[in-house]
A and B are shown apart, each in its own frame.
Chain A
Amino acid sequence: MVNSLPKLLSAAFITLKLLSVSLIIGLFIGLFFAILRLNKNIFINKFAYGYSYVFRGTPLLVQIFIIYFGLGQIEYLRSTVLWVILKEPYWCAIIAFALNTGAYTSEILRSAFQTIKPGIVEAGKSLGISNRVIFYKIQIPIAIRQSLPAYGNEIILMMKGTSLASTVTIMDLTGVAKYIISTTFKPIEVFIVAGGIYLFMTFIIHNLIKYLEKKYSFN
């Protein structure tokens, strides 16, 4: 019980690594697709909508399995350079997590963009600021501030989602907890400790977001 704690704590770092890498990639994917969603071109718009619809509408576990076990079955793929990445469970998990969180992030950012009052953009225009600068210096910062509470939620959901990495052989917090159980046969104790570590990580993320919300509040 006590001697399982160091193993679980070092596994928690793997969980954090999975989380942070997929969040960073997912944020860029999300921003990219949110901008596509605002595009007037119906094809671009529908393409971005289709992406978020598919990835929000299917379970994360299914997505990981399709990317890991599914793509691994395609013989052609195994002869391409892509296999260097897809061979590794770690990258398969990152791809699935990033695409999943990217879909949610694009929706969060899109709705944030749409809540920006037209008056703010017009005020910029009347001052003679270019559209580009308005977008990068006015719209994006406001959108990010607006989306902080919802995005904080997404980070926490994603953190819990990383536990699915254990299904594709990654020894993250859940994976190591299961491994310890397989030798000690004490599921309750080990899962309570692992759950406590997850809870602690949620606590940190929650407070970090709260701090950012306060720092960038409009009042």
Chain B
Amino acid sequence: MNNFKKTIFSVLFSLLIIGNVNADKIKIGTEGAYPPWNSKNEAGKLIGFEVELAYTLCRYIGQQCVIVEQDWDGMIPALIMRKFDAIMAGMSITAERQKAISFSQGYADEVASLAVMKGSSLEGLDTPAGINLTKPNSDAKKALKTLTGALAGKTVCVQTATIHQNFLDSGDVGKVNVRTYKTQDEVNLDLASGRCDAALAAAVAFSDYAEKSGKPVVLTGPTFSGGAFGNGVGVGIRKDDAELLNAFNKAIDKARKNGDISRIATKWFGFDASM
């Protein structure tokens, strides 16, 4: 019996030690389902722009990192509950999210766009190529008016808890029928099946899907930035973790100066999405 107890204790003790090995590593949460930002390869390994960038930033910080997977809709709660220490998941810096967490400076930016299936009545809308919603000029206002008319009564699909959902909920394009999905993959599936009249997400998410699936998905309307779409993508960090925030900001500075961010962005996006 004594031996048995000893065995149990030693097993438990060694588990404690193993558990603590990860203690001084920075844990970074990502979704693994939003290519080319972050995704998984056939083997189930996390890949993508942010995965590669995360390891680069950690080298500059001088600490080891572990990247953990987390569903998008629980990303911020999981950070607050200390399941990991930082978010790198294509998360745009918005005022709404800043109420709950801090963000590092932005490391990359993307534009959002509507996508439809080829042949849709929403294809080829008469709008400027891109609009910025931070201080909308007359062109942007006119484009929003065009969109309001075109999208009235249509079903527009977005991933839940995203800037794209916030934009549609804001009423800037009137009352559209918003349908929310857990992942961008599911949005793409329902866009292709015809359940969605249009979908709204990062433009690169659609071009990536069109390329990989061969489905005739086309972008339409203007590309969106600013306003509800936030100011670039940054590292999300708990508000009480000023030290880590500082470390990431410095690492991003260094990585930008050395051209690492541009290099990795060009590799994954096909263009330089760094900022």
> In the complex, which of the residues A78, A87, A178, A187 contacts B160, with contact meaning CB atoms closer than 8 Å?
A178
CA gap between A179 and B159 in the complex, in Å: 11
In A161-187, the 8 Å CB interface with B consists of: 167, 169, 178-179, 181-183, 185-187
Shortest beta-carbon distance from A74 to chain B in Å: 9
Q: Is the interface of A mostly helix, strand, loop or mixed?
A: helix
Is A203 in contact with chain B by the CB < 8 A criterion?
A: no
CA gap between A183 and B100 in the complex, in Å: 10
Q: Which of A72, A169, A187 has the most CB of B within 10 A?
A: A169
Shortest beta-carbon distance from B185 to chain A in Å: 10
Contacts of A182 on B, CB cut-off 8 Å?
Answer: 73, 160-161, 165
CA gap between A69 and B157 in the complex, in Å: 14
Is A114 in contact with chain B by the CB < 8 A criterion?
A: no
CA gap between A185 and B157 in the complex, in Å: 22
Is A115 in contact with chain B by the CB < 8 A criterion?
A: no
Is B195 in contact with chain A by the CB < 8 A criterion?
A: yes
Contacts of B208 on A, CB cut-off 8 Å?
Answer: none
Shortest beta-carbon distance from A183 to chain B in Å: 7
Contacts of B173 on A, CB cut-off 8 Å?
Answer: none
Q: Is the interface of B mostly helix, strand, loop or mixed?
A: helix
Contacts of A181 on B, CB cut-off 8 Å?
Answer: 73, 77
Contacts of B193 on A, CB cut-off 8 Å?
Answer: 69, 72-73, 78
Shortest beta-carbon distance from A122 to chain B in Å: 56
Shortest beta-carbon distance from A56 to chain B in Å: 26
Shortest beta-carbon distance from B39 to chain A in Å: 19
* A187, closest chain B residue (CB): B77
- CB of B179 within 8 A of CB of A185, answer no
CA gap between A72 and B191 in the complex, in Å: 10
CA gap between A87 and B181 in the complex, in Å: 15
Shortest beta-carbon distance from B273 to chain A in Å: 25
CA gap between A78 and B194 in the complex, in Å: 8
Is B180 in contact with chain A by the CB < 8 A criterion?
A: yes
CA gap between A186 and B73 in the complex, in Å: 12
Contacts of B195 on A, CB cut-off 8 Å?
Answer: 72, 87, 89
* A171, closest chain B residue (CB): B180
Q: How many residues of chain A have a CB within 8 Å of chain B?
A: 16
> In the complex, which of the residues A73, A167, A183 contacts B182, with contact meaning CB atoms closer than 8 Å?
A167
> In the complex, which of the residues A72, A169, A178, A185 contacts B100, with contact meaning CB atoms closer than 8 Å?
A185
Contacts of B139 on A, CB cut-off 8 Å?
Answer: none
Contacts of A186 on B, CB cut-off 8 Å?
Answer: 77
Contacts of B241 on A, CB cut-off 8 Å?
Answer: none
- CB of A179 within 8 A of CB of B77, answer no
Contacts of B165 on A, CB cut-off 8 Å?
Answer: 182
CA gap between A181 and B74 in the complex, in Å: 8
CA gap between A185 and B190 in the complex, in Å: 27
Shortest beta-carbon distance from A29 to chain B in Å: 26
Is B126 in contact with chain A by the CB < 8 A criterion?
A: no
> In the complex, which of the residues B76, B181, B182, B194 contacts A185, with contact meaning CB atoms closer than 8 Å?
B76
Contacts of B96 on A, CB cut-off 8 Å?
Answer: 183
Shortest beta-carbon distance from B261 to chain A in Å: 28
> In the complex, which of the residues A167, A169, A178, A187 contacts B179, with contact meaning CB atoms closer than 8 Å?
A169
- CB of A179 within 8 A of CB of B160, answer yes
List, sorted by A's number, 23 A–B pairs whose CB atoms are closer than 8 Å.
Answer: A69-B186, A69-B189, A69-B193, A72-B189, A72-B190, A72-B193, A72-B195, A73-B189, A78-B193, A78-B194, A87-B195, A89-B179, A169-B157, A169-B179, A169-B181, A169-B190, A179-B160, A179-B180, A181-B77, A182-B160, A182-B161, A182-B165, A187-B77
Binding site for A on B (CB under 8 A): 73-74, 76-77, 80, 96, 100, 157, 160-161, 165, 179-182, 186, 189-190, 192-195
Instruction: Known pairs A69-B186, A78-B193; list 10 more (Cβ under 8 Å).
Output: A73-B189, A87-B194, A87-B195, A169-B157, A169-B179, A169-B180, A178-B73, A178-B160, A181-B73, A182-B160
